[in-house]
Structure formats: structure tokens, C-alpha cells
Structure 1
Amino acid sequence: MLSAIATEYLRLQSAETSRTLAYLRLRRAIQHLIDTGVLGPGHGLPSERDLAGGLQLSRVTVRKALSGLIDQGLLSQRQGAGTFVSERIVRSFSRLTSFTDDLRERGLNPQVTFLERGIGEVTPEEAMALNLSPGSGVVRLSRLRHVDGAPIAAERTLVPHSLLPDPQCIGGSLYEALDTYGHRPRRALQRLRAVALEQEAAQLLQLEAGAPGLLVERRAFLADGRVVEFTRSFYRGDAYDFVAELQSD
């Protein structure tokens, strides 16, 4: 692995100007190897000492390069084990699952921090999203999603109060809470687009404003056609992939 990093580092060194800082060149070299699949999810990197010796760089330079990739979510450090390529999370667009269910199926440990969890009167915009009458009650949820302690997604969710009488009953999964009232969604419409994260979402996800992200809007329905959920989720673009199975007629 050290030889692959050294080869890419030297290639960039010959292609770029001498004014390019060494830590940036090393960061780009490692990121290129990740992007092209040479360094796959879960692969361990050589130690800082080995990288510094093999590339004839200081350990401060190596540490600065790795730190930037860790901040981007491309690398993760495990206490006493070393530095590894982060596992990207793949989520299907073809199945209606909750965030919690989806990650549990992959053997990951999802956590949630509630930033807001309250009941109020629906606004005109919320009434349109949920097909509610003016004056209806609505549950508003704002949540920060984590995987193994790292923030992955920031979500804002609306649910008709009539379908979720007690929002405090929500633990890790909204769908599990809805299921207790017999209101688990049966179908949903989703829209995904790439965005540059604005300040609020970027700060929650521990990224700089303008960092690439994914915005997913979900409108979920009960079997009788009532809207049970409207959610806008901002995902880290460096940690999440959405896939869909396509079939010809």
C-alpha cells in the first residue's frame, strides 16, 4: 500500500508546480487512490512513521494530510489500530426503509440526537406538504443522525399530529413509533439532488459551508393515501451512496 501511495505522490509531484504544499499533494494522492478504488473501504493505511519515511516527509506533514481526509470523512482513525478508509454507506432507493432499519441491516450502529421535537399548528407550507387543513396539528422533528459517533445526516421531518399523538415515544426510529399506532408508511416518493451545503447543515455535519452534500426529500403515504411523513434530509456527500435497481420492460 505504501508503494501505491508513493507512486501517486511522485506522479503529482512531477505534474504540479513546486509551490504546491507537500501535505496537499499527499492528501490528493491518497484521495485519488480512494476515488479510483485502489484503496477500498476498510483498507488500512501505513502508519504515519512509515509514510513519512517512505515519502521523505516530516510526520507533521503526513499528519496534516491525513487530518484533512479525516475531516472530509474519507478516512477514520481507530484507537490503537491505525487509520482506515471509511466505509461508505449504500442505501437503496428501491425499498421503503427507515434510516435506523437500513443501517442495522448493514451491521452498523445508528444513533440520533433530537434538536427539536414538538407539536404546533401547521403552517400553510406544511399544510400543502401533508395535505392537511388549516389549523391542524403537526409534529415537527429535527434530528442529527450518527453512525459510530460520526454525523451522517441532518433531517427535518413533519408528521400529522393525528397520526403521531406522542412524539416523545420516538426512540431511534420514527417508523417504529408510527408502527405502534398502526401508521407505518406503505409507499413513498423521493427526490434526490446534489447540493452545496449551507451553513446550518454544514455545521451540524461538521463540514465547511459549501461542502458537497445530498438533499433527499421524502413524502411517505399510508395505504389509504394519507400523507404520514414529509422529510428533508441533508447527507454528507463523502459518506453516502444511493442506489436503485433498474429493470427493462
Structure 2
Amino acid sequence: MEPAAWQKCLQRHLRDTPAQLPRYQRLRAALSAALAAEAAQTGVLPGERALATMTGFSRVTVRKALAGLAAEGLVRPKPGAGTYVGERIVRSLSRLTGFTEDLRERGMNPRVEFLERETGEATSEEAMGLALAPRTPVLRFWRLRYGGGRALALERTVVPRSVLADPGAVQESLYEALEQVGARPTRALQRIRATAVDAESARLLGVEAATPGLEIERRAFLPDGRAVEFTRSIYRGDAYDFVAELEARPG
């Protein structure tokens, strides 16, 4: 992000922070919000002096705010080189995107390993998730998703075969394949819960069994209301932060 864009972004988020908070907490919150924006997902932050100039805060305040972000893993200081966006991936819950698109926007190279890719008939659970009749033809994908050279997530996805006929059409990105047939989803319901990663998933993700993780269930829909995706994922808890921007209802 260019310096002018950083300044505009920080000023906007500072206006949204309570004025009664200590300055370093306000700046920490504004920087955290900026890091959740798609334009600030990778690279190096402005230096302490530049941030002080942009915000009107002292360098002591800036240093304290950056230390708080570093403690959260959102940034990592490199002596003599600056402060870099941390290795944790900050993913916004306000946009409907896929794994591949998310990582590309952050300048990371996504990679997928297919553990299963098959056709079959919907189980009762899959039929319920996709609002289909039992035994309706579906495609199933079990994928290990990589970014930055490490395994980040395991995804089990079911798609109606009436929407996507050929399982081979999905290479790196499901949403790109759906877009090719005019069936990219425009809305989704997503449930996120904490979980202890089971032994098999832990082995594939390269973490210890019972490591904290995030279990995510997504049902995605076309504009006409048809469900086109039912996915259950396990994300590494040490790699992801999910961020939601909330607004108070008027009145």
C-alpha cells in the first residue's frame, strides 16, 4: 500500500475508534483494521516516523502500538529492515471468496493436493446441506490446501453434479471452475467453531494431534437460491484470523 493510501486508511479507522481510549490502543486498533483490508495483507508497514507523521501521534505511541500487534502475531519486526505483516493470514468475513483467491490477493502462492476427487450420490447429510433429494448425483472433493509452503487447511466439499458435471474441471480453485459454467456463488452462510484437530487431520496439516484449530462449515448459493457448495474445513488455528467489521443499527 502506498503511503498516501496508508494515511487515508489509518485516518478512517482512527475515526472509528473511541476517543477515550489511550492513543496507543486507538492506533493499534486502526492498524489491525488496516491489516484486515485487502490492500494491506502483505509487505512492509510504514516506519515509525512515517506512522507518527500520518497519525499525529508520538513515536513512543507508535512503538507501543506496533509491539501490541507483534504480540498478536499480526506483524513481525525485522531489525534494520522494518515491520512486516505477520505470517498469520487475516481473512475478512465480509467478502465471499475462495481459498485460492484469498492467498493470491496476499501475494502468496496457493497449492492444492487432492486427497479424493469423485462422483457419487448425496448422503442424507450432504442432501440436507445442499437442499437436494437423497441420492442426487454430486461431486466430492477432499483437498489439502497449501500457502507459503505449508499446509493450512483441509477441505471436504460437495457440489451438485447438475451444476458442475466434470470433477476434473476443478484444478486449483473451485470458484474459478464454477465461474466458468456461470455458477459462481453470490451468497453464503458460514459457521465457525473452535476445535481440537483430530489425529488424521493433524498428520496431514503437519501439527500435533489436539492442536487448536478452526472448523468452518460453508453453504454457498446462487442468486436464485440454489445451493452450489457444501464445504467443511479444518483450518490451522496458528495461521488464521477471521475478522468481521460490525456496524450499529441506526436507532
What TM-score results when the alignment is normalised by the length of structure 1? 0.68
Match of 2:168 in 1: 168
Cα pair distance change 1:36/1:245, threshold 3 Å: closer
Alpha-carbon distance between aligned partners in 2 of 1:40 and 1:105, rounded to the nearest angstrom = 17
Q: Secondary structure at the match of 1:184?
A: coil
Look up the SS of the partner of 1:229 in the other structure: strand
Amino acid of the residue matched to residue 77 of structure 2?
H
C-alpha separation in 2, matches of 1:167 and 1:209: 31
| Aligned counterpart, 1:41 | 75
Cα distance in 2, alignment partners of residues 246 and 118 from structure 1: 39
Distance 2:74 2:138 in 1: 44
CA RMSD in angstroms comes to 2.2
Report what 1:28 is aligned to: none
1:36 Cα deviation from its structure 2 partner: 6.7
- Larger CA Rg, structure 1 vs 2: 1
| Matched AA of 1:191 | R
The 5 Å alignment of 1:92-171 reads 92-171=92-171
Asked whether the 8 Å contact 2:69–2:75 carries over to 1, the reply is: no
Secondary structure, aligned partner of 1:43:
strand
Q: How many equivalent pairs are there?
A: 180
* Contact 1:92/1:243 (8 A) holds in 2: yes
In structure 2, stretches of 5+ residues that fail to align are 1-66
The 3-state SS of whatever aligns with 2:231 is strand
Deviation track 1:74-100 (CA, whole Å, cap 9, x = no partner) reads xxxxxxxxxx99511011111100111
Deviation per residue, 1:12-65 (Å, 9 max, x gap)? xxxxxxxxxxxxxxxxxxxxxx987257634348xxxxxxxxxxxxxxxxxxxx
Secondary structure at the aligned position of 2:75 is classed as coil
Give every structure 1 segment of 4 or more consecutive aligned residues whose post-TM-superposition deviation is greater than 6 Å.
none
Matched, 1:187 2:187: yes
Match of residue 248 from structure 1? 248
TM superposition shift of 1:157: 0.4
* Aligned residues of 1:44 and 1:85 also touching (Cα < 8 A): no
- Map Cα deviations across residues 201-242 of structure 1 (whole Å, 9 max, x no partner): 111111111000011110000111111001111111011000
The answer to whether the 8 A contact 2:110-2:147 is kept is yes
Q: 1:237 to 1:173 in 2, by over 3 A?
A: same
Q: In the aligned structure 2, how far is the partner of 1:36 from the partner of 1:175?
A: 33
User: Unpaired segments of 5 or more residues in structure 1?
Assistant: 1-33, 46-83
2:201 paired residue number: 201
Separation in 1, partners of 2:230, 2:208: 27
2:215 paired residue number: 215
Amino acid at match of 1:180: Q
CA 1:40–1:179 in 2, change beyond 3 Å: closer, same or farther? Answer: closer
Matched to 2:141, the amino acid is: L
C-alpha distance in structure 2 between counterparts of 1:232 and 1:35, whole Å: 33
TM-score, normalising length: structure 2: 0.67
1:136: how far off?
1.0
**Secondary structure of 2:139's partner?**
strand
Distance 1:178 1:139 in 2: 12
Q: CA deviation at 1:191?
A: 0.6
